[in-house]
Amino acid sequence: MPRYFIWTIGCQMNKAESRQIGGYLDSAGYQAATSFSCADLVVLNTCVVRQNAEDKVLGTLGLLRGLKSKRPDLQILVTGCFVNSHTQELQRRFPHVDLLFKPGDYTELVAWGQKQGIPIEQNLPRQAHNDVRTVASPCTLVPVIQGCDNFCSYCIVPYRRGREVSRPTEEIACEVRELAKRGTKEVTLVGQNVDSYGHDLPGHPDLADLLSELSSIDDLARIRFLTNHPKDMSRKLIETMASLDKVCEHLELPVQSGDNEILKAMRRGYTVERYRELVHTMRGKIPHISLSTDIIVAFPGETEEQFARSLSLVEEMRFDVVHVAAYSPRPGTIACQEYQDDIPAEVKKGRLNKIEGLQTIMASEINSQLQGKEAEVLVEGKKGGKWFGRTRSNKLVFFEDADDWLGQSVRVRIEKTSPWSLRGQIKV
Ligand code: SAM
Ligand code: SF4
C-alpha cells in the first residue's frame, strides 16, 4: 500500500483540513505514515501568519528538495496559506513540488490525483470527509466556514483564504452524525470567524441555529466552536450557549490589544469597553465559562502606555489561556503598507515575555482552585504512559490507569495543578 504523510502547522483550521485531506488519501487506498522518510506522498499544510511560521515552511520545503533528489518518485503537495494566487511563480521557485492547491480546494487535489492515476474518490460525500476507513477520534475538528471578510490590518488570512463561505447546515449535520456513529464524542466547529457562520447561506441560519441542530445528535456529548470575533458575538449566541447542555463552557475570544487606538489601527471593529461588556454578559449567563484570548504586542507605533493597557487587561479579565504573539509585518496587508514596523526586536521580546509571565501567574492561580475538586474528562489518548483528555472548560488533565479509557468520559479527582495542565486520579 502506498503511504502518505501530512505535515501541518498553524491554526485549528489547518488541522481540520489535514484530517479531510487524509480522508481523501484514505479513499485512494493510501495508508498514513509517521514521517517524511517512509512516505510516497507528502502534503505540507502551511501557515504564513507570522514570519517564523513562513520560515518553517521554507525550511521544510528545502528539506524535501533534498529528499526528492534522492527519491524522484516522492510526490510533494503543498496547501495552506503559503499558497497565494501566483501559483506559477511559486511553482518556478519550488520545482520539486508536484501540486500547489489553495486551502480547502479539494477539486484541485482530486483532479491532480486523477491525472496521476491516483483513484481519489471524486465524489467523496462531504459528510464522509473524515478518515473514511477508520474509527473516528473521540474529539474531532469540523470546518464550518472558510475564509474571512474582516481584513484586520495586520492579517494575511483574507488574502490567502478568500471571502467567507459557510457550509450548509445539513451537510455539517450529516458529517457530525457520521462522526458520532464512528466514535466521536466531541466536535469543535472551526472557522477563522466562526460566529459569522451562515450569513451567506439561504435563509441566513446562524451559529446558534447550527449549535441547536447539532445538539440533537444522540451519540454526541460535547460541542465547542472557535475562533470568535468579538464584533460578531450576538446575544442570541450567548443565550444559546447557556441553554444547550452539550455546548461546553469554553470560548476563544481574541481581543488583540487593550488599547482603543491600537484596536482602531488594527481595524478590529470594537473597543475595549465593548469587549469588557461582552465578557461581563457572558460570565453573567455562563458563570464558569473558561476564556481564551489572543494578543498581539508591538503593533506599529504601540507606546509603553498602550502596551501597559494590554497588560492590565490581561490582569483584569483573568483569562484561562492567552496566546501572545509579537507583530510580524505581512507583505500585502494594510498595516504593512501603511505603518513602519518600528518597534525594536528586543522591545518586542520584552513585551511578549511580560504578557507571558503575567499570564503564567494568572493561569496558575485559576487552575490551583481546581485542586481537590472532581472534573469530568473526555479521554482523547495516551502520552508517556498517561491518559489525557480535557474538561468541558478545556483544561488538559492527565491520569494514570491500567484500563483502556479511550473515548470515555471519566471522573478525575484533581491532585496537582500547573498553569498549563492538571493531574489526578480516576474515580471508578
Ligand atoms: N480569526 C481570529 C481572530 O479574529 O482573532 C484569529 C485568526 S489569526 C490567523 C490567529 C492569530 O494570529 C490572531 O489572533 C493574531 O493574534 C495572530 N496574528 C495574525 N496576524 C499576525 C501578525 N501579522 N503578527 C502577529 N500575530 C498575528
Ligand atoms: Fe485575520 Fe482578523 Fe480574519 Fe481573524 S478576523 S482571520 S485576525 S482578518
- The 3-state secondary structure of 340-389 reads CCCCCHHHHHHHHHHHHHHHHHHHHHHHHCCCCCEEEEEEEEEECCEEEE
5-61: pLDDT as tens digits: 999 999 999 999 999 899 889 888 999 999 999 999 999 999 999 999 999 999 999
Count CA within 13 A, CB hemisphere, residue 282.
23
Q: What is the pLDDT of residue 125?
A: 45
Pocket lining for ligand 2, CB < 6 angstroms: 148, 150-152, 155, 157-158, 192-193, 229
Residue for grid cell 502606555 = 305
Q: Give the number of residues written for the chain.
A: 428
Work out the percent of the chain whose per-residue pLDDT is above 70.
Answer: 97
Q: What is the pLDDT of residue 127?
A: 41
156-204: pLDDT as tens digits: 999 999 999 999 999 999 989 989 998 999 999 999 999 999 999 999 9
Position 128 pLDDT exceeds 50: no
Position 124 pLDDT exceeds 70: no
Closest ligand 2 atom number to CA of residue 192: 6
Query: Which alpha helices (DSSP H) does 71-149 contain, by range?
Result: 87-93, 106-116
Position 132 pLDDT exceeds 50: no
Ligand 1 and 11: CB distance under 6 A: yes
CA distance linking residue 122 with residue 289, whole number of Å: 42
Complete edge-to-edge strand list for the sheet that includes strand 250-252? 250-252, 290-297, 321-326
256-276: pLDDT as tens digits: 999 999 999 999 999 999 999
The ligand minimizing its distance to the Cα of 333 is 1
Tell me if residue 100 falls in helix, strand or coil.
strand
Q: 385, 357 in Cβ contact below 8 A?
A: no
Closest ligand 1 atom number to CA of residue 148: 1
CA distance linking residue 398 with residue 14, whole number of Å: 26
Q: Whole-model pTM?
A: 0.95
What is the rounded (10 degree) CA torsion for 391, 397, 402, 407? Answer: 30
Instruction: Tell me the pLDDT band of 119, cut-offs 50, 70 and 90.
Output: confident
**Mean pLDDT, the chain, integer:** 95
Count the Cβ atoms, other than its own, within 10 Å of residue 88.
9
Q: What is the pLDDT of residue 285?
A: 97
Which amino acid makes up residue 58? L
Ligand 1 and 157: CB distance under 6 A: yes
228 alpha carbon – ligand 2 mean position (Å) = 10
Q: What is the DSSP string of 220-237?
A: --EEEEEPPPGGG--HHH
Q: What is the pLDDT of residue 27?
A: 85
Mean pLDDT computed over 91-99? 96
**CB-based burial label for 115 (10 Å; 0-12, 13-18, 19+):** exposed
The ligand minimizing its distance to the Cα of 352 is 1
Count the Cβ atoms, other than its own, within 10 Å of residue 344.
10
Ligand 1 and 222: CB distance under 6 A: no
229-248: pLDDT as tens digits: 999 999 999 999 999 999 99
Out of 14, 151, 192, mutate this one to test ligand 2's pocket (max ligand atoms within 8 Å of CB): namely 192
Element (DSSP H or E) covering residue 60: helix 51-70
